[in-house]
Amino acid sequence: MKGAVGVPRAAKGVGEFVIEAVGETAGEALLSRLTCALLAGLALIAYLSWSFSPRLTIAGAGLLSFYLAHGAWQTFRAPAKGRRRGLTALTTAGFALTALTPLFVLVYATGCNCP
């Protein structure tokens, strides 16, 4: 009789495994598609901005570089006491988001078959 008690427990364990495996597969597929959409969106923005005005595109890239450089500088230096953190927090968050984006793309865009 004790053998019959373990069967429902084993079936429950198998069911949980299947649900977890399907969830991981669906999540992986969703993140892969999201990464491909991110890459396509960035390429579209670059193409449209360059076709609109190459000079403004280069100027915007320069301003974005200064913004990210300020965020990186604020991230890796000791904080000053008694200073406001409004712009600093904004540039630090922008730098962190921009720094994590290539990692996200490297992890999830390996199988997206983007052209």
Q: Does the predicted TM-score (pTM) go above 0.75?
A: no
* pLDDT of 82: 62
Q: What are the residue boundaries of the structural domains of the chain, listed by start?
A: 2-108
Provide the Cα torsion 26, 32, 90, 48; round to 10°: -140
* pLDDT of 91: 85
User: Distances from the Cα of 21 to the Cαs of 82, 107, 111, in angstroms?
Assistant: 51, 19, 18
Query: What's the rounded Cα separation, in Å, for the pair 38 and 105?
Result: 9
* pLDDT of 55: 93
* pLDDT of 111: 63
* pLDDT of 59: 92
Query: What's the rounded Cα separation, in Å, for the pair 19 and 35?
Result: 24
3-state secondary structure of 114: coil
Under-70 pLDDT residues of the chain: 1-7, 80, 82-84, 110-115
